[in-house]
Structure 1
Amino acid sequence: MTRRLLLSHLSLILLVLLALEVPFGVFYARSELARFSHAAQQGAMTLAEVCEEKTERGLAADLPGLARAYGRRTGSRVLVAGHQGVVLTDTAARALVGKDLSAEPDIAAALRDHPAVGTRSDSSTGGEVLFVTVPGGSGATVPCVVRTVYGLGPLRTKVHATWLALGVVGLGVLAAVTLIGFALARSITRPVRALERATAQLAEGRITDPPATDHGPPELRRLAASFTRTATRLQHVLQAQQAFASDVSHQLKTPLTALRLRLENFEPHLAPCAQDSLDKALGELERLSRMVQGLLALARVENSAIGPEAVDLDAVVADRAAIWAAFADEQQVGLVVSGATAVRVWALPGALEQIIDNLLSNALRVSPPGTVITLAVVSASGEGCRTPAVAELHVTDQGPGMTETERHRAFDRFWRAPDADHDGTGLGLPMVRQLTRASGGEVTLEPAAGGGLDAVVRLRHAVTRTHREAVCARS
């Protein structure tokens, strides 16, 4: 934001400088050329009057000296032609003396008593020159014509120096404005940066550095005060919610255990016809106990401040597969492990075990006998050295699968598929997602090839910064 404010400020100042300096430079160049032309025309007219007087008195021999003296004084080339356009003297080329120039436009115009002023390129110098051709006298017959030619190099140099001075002044103004604008932009965006830090802290669960409410523009001060009040209230609400879930779960464990014992004590005294009802009541009680355990686990994850650690993914997968192999054999379901080895990922301590246990439990509930559950580890490289590499754990079953809507809702707490015939609590997949996100990863449900469901857990590779920089340097 600081950069954008500074760029917008500089762009506006640059437009103002261009609007001021460019017209001034153009006007200065034109006015200098006009002033120079006017002075040259006045001098040429004065010289023409003197030449006219010399010609009328029969003193044409004085014209070369007069022209040379004028040329030295003004730095110009002087040419004087008679009443028929024949060159009488030329300070630059004696070869032109006696040559008829009456056909040249400026000489012809002057012979008709019309002065001519303009610029043209000079083949001898290769530059641009200013010429002034004026008649010596007036009337039907013009006694003589005077042409003075000035090189425009010094004038162009002066104009260029002025443009350079304007450019230096403009750069100096831009530099000063940059410093002032940067200071102003920093002062304006400082409250915004404080709000950004506070928002990031709030996303992590607790604000340790609240934004100051006494700095910056009034609007930002009011915004910071409103944000602080909202964040404080939100933290209290979240803490109360987490404390409530944790306290209720803990308080429910004891009465549930006592209730189970009392129901089991009824079993010897019940009639055989009531045995089925007792078994169903015990089953529902078991489901309620698992739900309480799930709520406790979710509350621990949400309240946990432990950071991820490097974990050997394939070792954990192999260990959990070995433990669940007996349960899979009871249901006549195969359990296959495949994929990459020696893959280390970032995860919370114990999170991978809970993730795999929940995914395998769900997969076994929906897998028909004679099918196979596959646990596959896939290592994927990041795009370039800036994107971290990830590892994917695929838990694929051959059950009935889910529709796209069901896959999106499966991570909602207590949600169960409409046609579910098992005693799940609806907390397994929400716990998987919470543990995965707390470990810095993501989990998705995708349709498996040939039917069934593919639960994909993506976690970041546990690669040290030094090792990653070495790999990037080699690539």
Structure 2
Amino acid sequence: MTRRLLLSYLSLILLVLLTLEVPFGYVYARGELSRLSHTVGQGAAVLSELCEDRIEHGRTADIPALARSTGSRVVVTNRSGIVLTDTRTTAHTTGQDWSAQRDIVSALRSRPVTGTTRDGETRAEVFYATMPGTSGGTLRCAVRVVSPLTALNARVRDAWVALAVLGLGVLATVTVIGLSLARWITRPVRALESATAQLADGCLTDPPDPDRGPPELRRLATSFTHTAARLQHLLRAQEAFASEASHQLKTPLTALRLRLENFEPHLDPCARPSLDIAVGEVERLDRMVQGLLALARLENSATTPEAADLDAVVADRAEMWTAFAAEHGVVIKVTGPDCGRVWAVPGGLEQIIDNLLSNALRASPAGSVIMLDREQGANGPGLHVIDQGPGMSEAARRRAFDRFWRACDTHDDGTGLGLPMVEQLTLAAGGEVSLHPAPGGGLDAVVHFKPAHML
């Protein structure tokens, strides 16, 4: 954010500098050239009048000295375009016919000409002014005055350099000021970001300073600190409730079950089925309370995922559940390629597989097979828990992850918290879980994990 703010400041200042300095430099260059044009043109006009006067009175011998007195290169031709004098010492143009040169042609037609060109010998850029020498409507000569642009170009170049140095100085100053301003603005934002990360981890140890930064960010820091304190208080209260409830509810439920069981010797045999149902409901209530408290603890705790060996955990849980499945006449098979290490919350991978196997075993008829099929898919390592039970409808699959939800046609003693816990554990490690119909009937519970090499 600091970089973006600084770049925005510098971009704006650079735009302002270009808008001001480029036109200024251009106007300065044009002004310098205009002044030179006026000076050279005016000198050429005066010189042409003097030369015309000398020619009119037959004093052409005075023209070379008159031309050399200007300090510039001067070429004078008569009315036929024949060069009378050329002040360049290295030139031998006297007597040559220049009537074909465009500026001389224009001047001999009484049209003054000015412009810039390159010297034919030195290749330097020069400014020339060619003026006709006329008197009383009679044209007697043409005078060309040539002035080098070296000094003018040097002044213009120096002006551009000065403008560039000034612009760089302004940019450097704005950089220092903008960096300080950007840091002053973003420092509270970074503090808020750090505090948010701490709060996400479960404990705000370094709250943002409400006395630093712009007023808006100060108010935001104050509001955030108040909200964080309130949220931490609520989380601690909820955690305390979950911890206390687990102890307070466990004892009454155990006592209630024992009292119900103590009624068995004193009940009429025809009432014993009702007693068994009541004891079963108490046990189911106990499992529901334990599952709900476990889910609450999972949601309240900020657990950092860690790498776990999916293949080893799958093999271990399959071996553990094999004996229990055999009592129900169900076989558990592990298939698919090795998937390696995946991200999972501590102990979460075992809970995911246990809950899915428990659900699959309740739905599987005797003589069926539960498949633990591993895969390396486009979405990362995956585990399919496939049973051969009655399966679930599309509407039931959409609601299966709701808490306490149970299919209306089920008769098992589930609590409706297994799949919500699976979803919570999977999402906490960056994975995803979904339910699909299995080929040939049954349910395919698919869990995709994030590979451990991904950050």
User: Same fold by TM (over 0.5)?
Assistant: yes
Distance in 2 separating the partners of 1:18 and 1:226: 43
CA distance in structure 2 between the partners assigned to 1:372 and 1:127 by the alignment = 97
Query: 2:433 maps to what in 1?
Result: 444
Task: Give how far 1:400 is off.
Answer: 4.4
The 3-state SS of whatever aligns with 2:139 is coil
State the secondary structure of the residue aligned to 2:144.
Answer: strand
Q: Does 1:152 align with 2:138?
A: no
Give the alignment's TM-score, normalised by structure 1. Answer: 0.86
Partner in structure 2 of residue 256 of structure 1: 253
Aligned equivalent of 1:4: 4
CA distance in 1, matches of 2:405, 2:423: 14
Q: For 1:3 and 1:410, locate their aligned partners in 2 and report how far apart those are by CA, in whole Å.
A: 48
Which residue, out of 198, 206, 219, partners 2:203?
A: 206
State yes or no: 1:23 paired with 2:48. no
Is it true that 1:354 corresponds to 2:351 in the alignment?
Answer: yes
Deviation of 1:21 (Å): 0.4
Identical-residue share of aligned pairs (%)? 62
Structure 1 window deviating more from structure 2 (147-156 vs 121-130): it is: 121-130
Q: Which runs of 4+ in 1 moved over 6 A?
A: none
1:238 aligns with 2:227: no
Does residue 339 in structure 1 map to residue 336 in structure 2? Answer: yes
Name the SS of the counterpart of 1:166 in structure 2: helix
> 1:225, CA displacement in angstroms?
1.0
Q: Corresponding residue for 1:78?
A: 74
Deviation at 1:273, TM superposition (A): 2.6
Contact 1:375 1:393 in 2 (8 A): yes
Mean CA deviation greater in 38-47 or 114-123: 114-123
Indicate if the aligned counterparts of 1:399 and 1:453 stay in contact, CA closer than 8 A: no
Q: Are the aligned partners of 2:342 and 2:449 in contact in 1 as well (CA < 8 Å)? A: no
User: Residue 38 of structure 1 aligns with which residue?
Assistant: 38
Match of 1:136 in 2: 133
Contact 2:392 2:437 in 1 (8 A): no
Q: 1 CA distance for matches of 2:285 and 2:165?
A: 81
Given the alignment of the two structures, is residue 192 of structure 1 paired with residue 193 of structure 2, yes or no?
no
**Which residue number corresponds to residue 454 of structure 1?**
445
Match of 1:109 in 2: 106
2:422 to 410, 422, 432: 432
1:392 aligns with 2:388: no
Deviation at 1:243, TM superposition (A): 2.1
Alignment counterpart, residue 282 of structure 1, candidates 273, 276, 279: 279
1:244-265: per-residue Cα shift (whole Å, max 9, x none)? 2332232111111111111122
Q: Distance in 1 between matches of 2:332 and 2:355?
A: 15
Tell me by how many angstroms 1:403 deviates.
5.4
Q: Deviations over 1:93-137 (max 9, x none)?
A: 855433444454432333343322122345544454322011224
TM-score w.r.t. length of structure 2: 0.89
In the alignment, which residue of structure 2 is the partner of 1:13?
A: 13
- How far apart are 1:362 and its partner, in Å? 1.2
Query: Root-mean-square deviation (CA), in Å?
Result: 2.8
Instruction: After TM superposition, give the deviation of residue 224 of structure 1 in Å.
Output: 1.1
Aligned position for 1:423: 413
- In 1, distance between residues paired with 2:397 and 2:64? 107
> Kindly tell me: are residues 437 and 146 of structure 1, through their superposed partners in 2, closer, same or farther at Cα, counting changes over 3 Å?
same
Residue 457 of structure 1 deviates from its aligned partner by 4.3
> Helix, strand or coil: the match of 1:142?
strand
3-state SS in 1 of match to 2:263: helix
> 1:143 aligns to what SS in structure 2?
strand
**Residue type of the alignment partner of 1:297:** A
Does the 8 Å CA contact 1:406/1:417 hold for their aligned counterparts? yes
1:171 maps to: 168
The amino acid of 1:177's aligned partner reads: V
Q: Distance in 1 between matches of 2:74 and 2:27?
A: 29
1:201 and 1:370 mapped to 2: Cα distance? 52
Deviating more after overlay: 8-17 vs 166-175 = 166-175
**Distance in 1, Cα, partners of 2:106 & 2:55:** 20
What SS does the corresponding residue of 1:129 show, helix, strand or coil? strand
Q: Partners in 1 of 2:368 and 2:69 — Cα distance?
A: 117
Assess if the C-alpha contact under 8 Å between 2:433 and 2:446 holds in 1: yes
- Alpha-carbon shift at residue 378 of structure 1 (Å): 4.0
Cα pair 1:333 1:371 within 8 Å, conserved: yes
**Secondary structure of the residue that 2:75 maps to in structure 1?**
strand
Report the Cα offset of residue 286 of structure 1.
Answer: 1.6
Q: 1:143 to 1:233 in 2, by over 3 A?
A: same
SS at match of 2:135: coil
User: C-alpha distance in 2, partners of 1:292/1:345?
Assistant: 30
Q: CA deviation at 1:184?
A: 0.2
Give the secondary-structure state (helix, strand or coil) at the position aligned to 2:449: strand
